[in-house]
Structure 1
Amino acid sequence: MGASGSSAPARLGLPAQPRPGWLGVAALGLAAVALGAVAWRGARSWRRWRRRRLQQVGTVAQLWIYPIKSCKGVPVSAAECTAMGLRIGNVRDRFWLVIKEDGHMVTARQEPRLVLVSIANENDHLILSAPGMDQLILPSKLPSSNILHDCRLFGLDVKGRDCGNEAAQWFTTFLKTEAFRLVQFETNMKGRPSRKILPPFVQNYQVAYPDCSPILILSEASLADLNTRLEKKVTMDYFRPNIIVTGCDAFEEDTWDELLIGSVEMKKVLSCPRCIMTTVDPDTGVIDRKEPLETLKSYRLCDPSEKQIYKSSPLFGVYYSVEKIGSLRVGDPVYRML
């Protein structure tokens, strides 16, 4: 059998007919024109397709970074969005963690008064304040000579660099229950893999000390809806989202799969299952163990088909992974990518 590129006459055993040179050139020219036209039409169609895909569903009302897990958040007007969450300078979301001396994490579930620790960010330092305590100033970058701890979060191991004896004593004195230490996650450390935290079908990413994902989104309308059902109104501080969206209907965020905010692209991981943490009053540090969790359970349980994922936890807010890093700011449109 002849080569696949040979002419039809040659394959039939006939002498090949010479082709005028100008015909080949003309054919190439016509092909180039045709390809150019296809490319031009393709570019126009791609631009139209991109425009069709973006549907504004709201606007960023607030941005919050929670440097220390379970402590108060820091409102920011703009932030970078990395694969592991929001950051401003060296201050990153949930990159600090209070631990027991054996390395187990401590959150407001165990120590509700952690929510009373407020944090300011000045000159790449964290300034911690709490009732009855002198301020504690922490550098956002620790000496490499500080020891590393093996920490335990929800049954998974993760590293943390010790923030020093002064910070340890500060939290121990404030909480008054046992000895505690403060650790910091560093970007060269290995995060907790999503596939070990959540069902195996979720996208693959890593987190430092957040519960499940780098970004949590909640709408103002969803909180307003909840408050119509509560005797004692609650604030957004009970739920600790990173991005608060305005201009949408209550629980509309449940339907958003892929989002574009600023230059950041995000993909829905799961709805956020709520726990007893939501019953800690952010103003008093007292855990109620009932509301608003009980009210959420009365109308925000998952579909029965998803019970193996969420069990009996009510859903409020949505977890996202970061598919394309970038920056975002308060006032940015929130686009759904259809």
Structure 2
Amino acid sequence: MARGLLQADDPLAHLLSPAFRTQLLSHALVLLAFLLLAYAWGTISPRFSALSAPKQPRARQERWQCIAKVDELWVYPVKSCRGTKLDEADVTKKGWDMDRRWIVWDVKREKGISLREEPRLALIAPTLDFASEQLHLRYSDSSSVLSVALHPSSATLATWASLRVPMYGDGGTGRIVPDASAWLAQHLGYECHLLQFDPAGEERAAFPLFRKPNDWESWARERKEEVEGKRGIEFQDEYPFLVATQESLSALRTQLVDAVRSDTDGIGGAPIRNLDRDKWAARLDDADAQLSMQRFRPNIVLSSLDADATYAAYDEDEWDQLRIVRASSNDHSAREACSHETCSLPPSTRSSIVLHLIARCQRCLLTSVDPETAEKDVQVPLALLRRSRMRLKTPGKREGPCFGVYAVPESTGEVRVGDQVWVRWRDESEEGKGE
């Protein structure tokens, strides 16, 4: 072959042929058109989505935001019995006054009982009658009512027989309320006592602070000791308060509806085994029949402040502190300044109730009991929460389904339904840590 000439079957001859160059140009034009289309879609799509998508909760822009209000307040005078709804309540070091002051004691098993063992406790409805200074207990629709003193004197309490009640990690002293045992046995079918917490007995401490406040290291030693010290809680399991949000309950209800209608776990996963879909399908038109907030037994229920100041379901997991503006506060600037775009400075600790959110609440079989009917269903809500809300309680340990957050108060005062709530977000470096 002469120098400079190419064989017809030489690969280089093919690359330099007019046909190949035409084909290469065609592919290049297609690629260019694709890139231009992708660029155009990337520019237009976000704008279109912003117009068509439903309004989302405000993005976190500051550490402090005024985005919530007090929606409900609940106290549970008798542990595991029905809750009592309040319009206002006084925050004390140990939580609400009268919260879990009484407990039902199983004489044969020698232990305090809860909804886990005895679902029918949900049918015992306490009423706090401050006018007559009595606690009234009614069982379901029965006309039989048990009335006991709200505030027996220390001298009177000392005359009642005492029992030590083991709790989680410690215990408390309970006094056997006279004339209550026969009433309980009549409705539960076995020998029981009603015990009243004795404040003269062992002082109970709340559980440790699993998640310290953002600014913990800057606190004075005295302040740390005050927040971590013994609080004198009564028959609560762990902490003075449990806080939950309507947004999280709504998300869980939606998960249940989707699980029933789509034959999934409600979040796109495999169906939940042994879920009674027929039963739950019949309840989908009644939100409380689906899932009542009372299954979770919170003390304070929050909801979004309004349509412009809101938050997402389960955001409470990442809140560090709440400041509740008192309804009777003279610091009007705290309310007036909260125009949703200027929420950068919270109310002072002197003009607000301060709650530190220090642990997520790992849920147990207690939540499987319907608070209205005492019916027990081990799949709802626990099976749903195990799919969507499993969180590590301790690194390297067993996971647990979580709903709600525990709180300890640093200040005292009155809280009312409708009060505004400022939230401080947990430092990003601390989000998701601990329990």
Alignment partner of 1:219 out of 237, 241, 245:
245
List aligned pairs for 1:1-338, cutoff 5 A: 54-87=64-97, 92-101=98-107, 103-122=110-129, 123=131, 124-131=133-140, 132=142, 134-142=144-152, 143-144=156-157, 145-154=159-168, 156-164=170-178, 166-176=179-189, 178-195=190-207, 203-206=228-231, 207-230=233-256, 231=260, 232=280, 233-247=290-304, 248-261=311-324, 262=326, 263-303=352-392, 306=395, 308=397, 311-337=398-424
Q: Gapped runs of 5+ residues in structure 1?
A: 1-51
> Residue 26 of structure 1 corresponds to which residue in structure 2?
none
AA of the residue aligned to 1:96: W
Q: Percent identity?
A: 31
- Which amino acid is the alignment partner of residue 192 of structure 1? R
When normalised by structure 1's length, the TM-score is 0.76
- Alignment deviations for residues 272-325 of structure 1 (CA, whole Å, 9 cap, x no partner): 0000111001111122222110000001011587453xx332010000011112
AA in 1 matched with 2:171: D
| Segment drifting more, 262-271 vs 57-66 | 262-271
Is residue 133–residue 174 contact of structure 1 (8 Å, CA) maintained in 2?
A: no
TM-score under structure 2 length normalisation: 0.60
- Code of the aligned partner of 1:130: Y
Q: Distance in 1 between matches of 2:369 and 2:143?
A: 21
Task: Give, in whole Å, the separation in 2 of the partners of 1:304 and 1:77.
Answer: 33
Question: Which secondary structure does the structure 2 equivalent of 1:241 belong to?
Answer: coil
Aligned-partner Cα distance in 2 for 1:85–1:305? 26
Contact 2:393-2:399 within 8 A present in 1 as well: no
**CA deviation vs aligned residue, 1:111-136 (integer Å, no higher than 9, x gap):** 10001111111123111111345011
CA distance in 2 between partners of 1:260 and 1:242 (Å): 16
Q: Name the aligned partner's letter for residue 225 of structure 1.
A: A
CA contact (8 A) 1:57 1:335 kept: yes
One-letter amino acid of the counterpart of residue 125, structure 1: Q
Note closer, same or farther for the CA distance 1:133–1:319 as it changes in structure 2 (3 Å cut).
same
| SS in structure 2 of the partner of residue 181 of structure 1 | strand
Query: What is the CA distance between 1:54 and its match in structure 2?
Result: 4.8
C-alpha separation in 2, matches of 1:306 and 1:204: 25
Q: Which amino acid aligns with 1:252?
A: D
Taking structure 1 as reference, are residues 137 and 156 closer, same or farther at Cα in structure 2, changes over 3 Å only? Answer: same
After superposition, the Cα gap between the structure-2 partners of 1:260 and 1:186, relative to the gap in structure 1 and judged at 3 Å, is farther
Matched to 1:171, the amino acid is L
Between the aligned partners of 1:283 and 1:183, the Cα distance in structure 2 is 24
1:24 corresponds in structure 2 to none
Give, in angstroms, the shift of residue 103 of structure 1.
4.4
Give distance in 2, aligned partners of 1:70 and 1:270. Answer: 21
1:250 CA drift (Å): 0.7
Measure how far apart 1:93 and its partner are: 0.8
Structure (1 or 2) with the greater strand fraction: 1
1-structure distance, mates of 2:253, 2:400? 19
Q: In 2, are the aligned partners of 1:103 and 1:149 still within 8 Å (CA)?
A: no
Contact 2:171 2:202 in 1 (8 A): no
- For 1:202-248, what per-residue CA distance to the aligned partner results, in whole angstroms no more than 9, with x for missing partners? 94444211121110000000000000111432010111100010103
Aligned to 2:50: none
* Deviation of the 1:77 alpha carbon: 0.6
Structure 2 contact 125–139 (Cα < 8 Å) conserved: yes
Residue 55 to residue 133, structure 1, CA distance change in 2 (3 Å): same
In structure 2, what is the Cα distance between the partners aligned to 1:94 and 1:291?
25
The code of the aligned residue for 2:144 comes to D
CA 1:154 to 1:224, structure 2 compared with 1: closer, same or farther past 3 Å? same
Separation (CA, whole Å) in 1 of partners of 2:163 and 2:143: 26
Structure with higher Rg: it is 2
The 8 Å contact of residues 295 and 368 in structure 2, kept in 1 or not, is answered as yes
Could you say if the C-alpha distance between residues 314 and 99 of structure 1 is closer, same or farther in structure 2, counting changes exceeding 3 Å? Answer: same
Q: Is the 8 A contact 2:211 2:359 kept in 1?
A: no
Structure 1 residues 56, 269: closer, same or farther in 2, change over 3 A? same
Q: Deviations over 1:19-47 (max 9, x none)?
A: xxxxxxxxxxxxxxxxxxxxxxxxxxxxx
Once residues 304 and 259 of structure 1 are traced to their aligned partners in structure 2, the CA distance between those partners, rounded to angstroms, is 22
Q: Distance in 1 between matches of 2:165 and 2:124?
A: 21
Q: Aligned-pair RMSD on alpha carbons?
A: 2.3
Amino acid paired to 2:69: T
CA 1:281–1:179 in structure 2 vs 1: closer, same or farther (change >3 Å)? same
Counterpart AA for 2:162:
L
Contact 1:198 1:212 in 2 (8 A): no
For 1:183, give the aligned amino acid: L
Query: Contact 1:203/1:269 (CA < 8 Å) preserved in 2?
Result: no
User: Number of paired residues?
Assistant: 278
